[in-house]
Structure 1
Amino acid sequence: MEITGRRKRATVKDVATEAGVSRGTVSRVLNGQPYVSEEAREAIEAAIAKVGFVPNRAARSLVMQSSQAIGLIVHEPHSLFVEDPNIGSILLGANAALSEADYQLSFLIADSARDIDRLARYLSGGLIDGVIIVSARVGDPITRAIAELRLPAAFVGHPRDIGDAAYVAIDNRGAAREITSRLVATGRRRIGMIAAALDRDSGSDRLAGFVDALGNRFDPQLVQRVPLYSYSDGQAGMRALLERSPDIDGVFASSDAVAAGAMAVLQDAGRVIPDDVGVVGFDDSSWAMRCDPPLSTVHQPAGDLGRAAAELVLQQLHGDDRDTGGRVLECPVVWRGSA
């Protein structure tokens, strides 16, 4: 079928003509303003449906000084988006809360310095009303840009330099301490950690919890630092630990993806899990059930984190400053066959 031209977009004038009212009356209905009779309102709604009118949100934003859009900024490399199910779950949780409030989610990725500069310019343009920030680091330029613009914001996680800004998080340190203690209780003597993402609060807190649990038994030589919560970093970290300490019999991996990579290396090296080496992770993501045996881990309520962060931003937009500080959600240990 040949397309001969674009259909003309219906206008406010078209709606007014069809409904038999003035354009001003149509505008009042579209903007939710009072002083319109019920009869006129019903005629306008019927006319909108008949002529196929779609409000121009950009123009409406200029009048209302609101875009009805919230940005979700994820400060992670592009490569991690395919691997990390938590990002998708946070996004879906935030989107559900915003949809209920008739707000649109705008997904923004900060992978490079150029991305950060571009996002700072975008945020200053009034195209979004507030932001949710995931994976911010201490000293993050995104955090500085948001503070300078005074945008309503909520962090997923708790970087140490956000002052009294709203955030939603889990107790990474306490959960890491608990699952490491469970691993110790299985009788392991040489327990190491593949410690990822130490440039953000989640990674550094999980390492701190691991150290807490081991106490005097902690050996810094059994900690392998890696950059990201990724499968490939789990593989690299496990290879380094095996080379340095071939007698290792327990591993705490700071995410499920890292744990899955570590388990693959151990099994390729002929180690039986959990008989020879017990492995635990963190997240309770889809990675945990892909492992064989299934992975003991910490349940991170990623969807609830996204929803709670969105609710905190909406609360600020509605002028409600009550209890917009920190929220900490529960994250229980889920014990399976890997340890």
Structure 2
Amino acid sequence: MAAEAGISRGTVSRVLNNEPYVSETARRAVEAAVAKVGYVRNAAARNLVTQRSRAIALIVHEPHSVVLDDPNIGNILIGTNAVLSDADHQLVTLMIDSQRDSDRVIEYLRGGFVDGAIILSARTGDPISEAIAELGLPASFVGHPPDAPAIPFIGIDNRAAAEAIVERLVATGRRRIGMLASGLDRDSGQDRLAGFQAALGDLFDPALVVRHPFYSYAAGAEGMAELLERDPHIDGVFAASDAVAAGAMDVLHRQGISIPEQVGIVGFDDSSWAIRCTPLLSTVRQPAETLGRRAAQQVLDQLLDGGEAPDGVILPTEIVWRASA
């Protein structure tokens, strides 16, 4: 390669590794030589020298069915991949659906196959987060588990956002308001339930909270049926996600209960579910793609610059009010 380009091996190496202090003439000579000889960079050899894989893991603590059902996860992945791609890093997605998955991923991380990790939907007591902290791996949470190790995070104020949209639901005159609560083993679900309770004050009735592990359409359908059994006169519902709200709305339609005349319903996320509902769903808009972008940048800042990311960054949300309430 150096002979073909007519320059030193050191200069060729600097060009191939995008290092500074290379003249434009030398850069063009190397590029021409690459094209002529068909050179392909040996990434494995480079990684052995640099001790870097240039791969970042996105660790998703959700069952496969929920991953496919949740547009937010897809948008977070899109944002993450965009930032890593621009930085010439590879995204590796790891889904955790069992203890066996968790054990295997911990061993994978210890093997040095990735340079950093982004942790999505971590539960309380997550062993993977603890392993990442022990390894000193550059990492970022999307969200912030209450017992999380000292790892930077990017998130939203779930409690304040839930409180704001439920207060607006109350302002429509609803008095028997229930919640389809999901994800209570993680910060987002706990905080949305806390915001719901705070907004209702004396109107809060614990019997009108139906719990389900996952943010899913099935959780909404099953939960709404149970909520109606507990109180057939319920007139308002806060669903912990748009997917949950969509399931609940289908049950209300099947039972001949009009929305919003008899029951007003609001969700959370402003995902594609919200605009597939009839009527269109009132919800909280959270910036899912931006969450992924900022989490990826937090990891790169730690990895590439050797700097420390801030402890946590909270992004704004907004209420999107539509016809469902």
> What's the TM-score bracket when you normalise by the shorter of the two chains?
over 0.9
User: For 1:48-67, what aligned pairs fall within 5 Å after superposition?
Assistant: 48-67=34-53
Could you report, residue by residue, the CA deviation over 1:283-314 in whole angstroms, capped at 9, with x for unpaired residues?
00000000000000000100110011111111
Equivalent position to 1:195, from 181, 184, 189 = 181
Equivalent position to 1:184, from 165, 170, 175 = 170
TM-aligned CA distance change 1:245 to 1:138, over 3 Å: same
Determine the C-alpha separation between the residues in 1 that align with 2:128 and 2:115.
Answer: 16
1:110 alignment counterpart: 96
The reply to whether residue 326 of structure 1 matches residue 273 of structure 2 is no
Determine the C-alpha separation between the residues in 1 that align with 2:70 and 2:259.
Answer: 23
Determine the C-alpha separation between the residues in 1 that align with 2:262 and 2:95.
Answer: 41
Determine the C-alpha separation between the residues in 1 that align with 2:21 and 2:305.
Answer: 25
Determine the C-alpha separation between the residues in 1 that align with 2:192 and 2:21.
Answer: 58
Structure 1, unpaired ranges of 5+: 1-14
| Aligned partner letter, 2:276 | R
Secondary structure of the structure 2 residue equivalent to 1:298 = strand
| Aligned partner letter, 2:310 | T
1:212 alignment counterpart: 198
TM-aligned CA distance change 1:40 to 1:333, over 3 Å: closer
Determine the C-alpha separation between the residues in 2 that align with 1:162 and 1:216.
Answer: 32
Structure 2, unpaired ranges of 5+: none
Determine the C-alpha separation between the residues in 2 that align with 1:296 and 1:49.
Answer: 55
1:77 alignment counterpart: 63
Q: Which runs of 4+ in 1 moved over 6 A?
A: 34-37
The reply to whether residue 46 of structure 1 matches residue 11 of structure 2 is no
Secondary structure of the structure 2 residue equivalent to 1:181 = helix
Determine the C-alpha separation between the residues in 2 that align with 1:160 and 1:305.
Answer: 19
My pick for the range that moved more, 281-290 or 140-149, is 140-149
TM-aligned CA distance change 1:248 to 1:316, over 3 Å: same
Determine the C-alpha separation between the residues in 1 that align with 2:27 and 2:284.
Answer: 53
Determine the C-alpha separation between the residues in 1 that align with 2:168 and 2:128.
Answer: 38
User: For 1:276-291, what aligned pairs fall within 5 Å after superposition?
Assistant: 276-291=262-277
The number of aligned residues is: 325
TM-score by length of 2: 0.95
Displacement of 1:190 after TM fit? 0.6
User: For 1:300-315, what aligned pairs fall within 5 Å after superposition?
Assistant: 300-315=286-301
- Considering only aligned residues, what root-mean-square deviation do their CA atoms show, in Å? 1.8
My pick for the range that moved more, 93-102 or 144-153, is 93-102
Determine the C-alpha separation between the residues in 1 that align with 2:18 and 2:95.
Answer: 34
Secondary structure of the structure 1 residue equivalent to 2:32 = helix
Q: Over alpha carbons, which structure has the higher Rg? A: 1
The reply to whether residue 167 of structure 1 matches residue 153 of structure 2 is yes
| Aligned partner letter, 1:259 | A
Displacement of 1:83 after TM fit? 0.8
Equivalent position to 1:93, from 79, 83, 88 = 79
Equivalent position to 1:275, from 256, 261, 276 = 261
Equivalent position to 2:112, from 120, 123, 126 = 126
Equivalent position to 2:245, from 251, 256, 259 = 259
Q: Is the 8 A contact 2:124 2:185 kept in 1?
A: yes
